[in-house]
Amino acid sequence: MSEHRPTRRNVLKAVGGVSAAMALGGGSVLASATAASAAGDGRGLRITERGEADPRMWYYRFQTAAIGGWTPAVNVLLPDDYHTSGRRYPVLYLLHGGKGDFIEFDRLPEGGIRAWTAGKPLIVVMPDGGQAGWYSNPVSSNVGARNWEYFHIEQLIPWIDDNFRTYAEYDGRAVSGFSMGGFGALKYTAKYWGHFASVSSHSGPASLRGVAGGLPGGVVHWANLSSAAVELGGGTVYGVPWDQNRVSMDNPCERVESYRNKRIFMVAGTSPLPTFWDRFNETAVLDTQREFRGFLGRAGIPHEWHEVDGGHWVRPDLFRQDLDGIVDRLRKA
């Protein structure tokens, strides 16, 4: 473990670790993409809308039994040379926050994800995850199926590998997210061990059972209340009383060994705005990330963390730094 302290930031970067070689089978991959229509139906997904005119940002909307009542969408951001290079590329799955959507990262300042990935040999996949879906298959729903976890893991990832020139393997994938999406990234990385070699959480909570915002188990309560209010029509992600097995399966602090040999990058703000929601969100983020980092440190698992001024938002400089680390960690195009 080594330590360095850049100006105005406290950053701990533990170095070491080796790449795991576990691969996820992914079906056939197209040898090349055409400008007209690269993607087709499959994996339980039926395309209801598509947009492939932009040379980089391709858009799809699906009908799937995993999500009832409406059609989730995804943006697929391609490298600048995707249509001419003939190469395969690593993939970053980028997960939005609560009350966000699949275009959240295209709205960010300083050009957003399109500008930040210009010239980088990386495909970025940005799917819908529900207004408060918590990247989960909920215990209960009163509005039809809202199985976001199944949609992402069992359908979308293999569909991407079927239809784009990717590496359908552990060293070919990273996952990152903001807020609720940062939690989803941490959860997916541990729960589906062989899918992702790098995980990043930008202002995402990292413990379900620990104290968050002064409340023990605060993130579970947060997930249940928010999902009941805006996602599940009174249903909940973890149930009331909690489904304790689901909580344990999703809790980063109870899955610490699953992060070994992976790149880990976390960001939390130390001075939220004096509004209820910003203070509530980022206080929970800071408290739970510190708890999780303690577990990682005691287990000797390398990780990088940043505690910086400000509250519950994406920081372009650290996001770009994270992208460079992701490209360095994954298999090269």
Catalytic positions are: 179, 278, 312
Number of helices and strands in the chain (H, E): 9, 13
Question: 11-37: string of b/e by CB count within 10 Å (b at 16+)?
Answer: ebebeebeeeeeebebeeeeeebeeee
104: its two tokens: 């959240």
Phi/psi of residue 199, nearest 5 degrees: -135, 140
Spatial separation of the C-alpha atoms in residues 23 and 172, rounded to whole Å: 9
What does R_g of the chain's alpha carbons equal in angstroms? 19
Distance CA 93, CA 95 (A): 7
Q: Which two tokens stand for residue 227?
A: 């999902």
Residue 159, φ and ψ in degrees, nearest 5: -65, -40
The residues near 13 (Cβ < 8 Å, ≥ 6 apart) are 2, 3, 4, 302, 303, 304
Spatial contact of 95 and 135, defined as CB atoms under 8 Å apart:
yes
Please spell the DSSP secondary structure of 271-299, one letter per residue.
S--SSHHHHHHHHHHHHHHHHHHHHHHHH
Contact 290, 306 (CB under 8 A): no
Q: Which of 92, 7, 93, 19 is nearest to 306 (CA)?
A: 7
Q: What are phi and psi of 63, to 5 degrees?
A: -105, 130
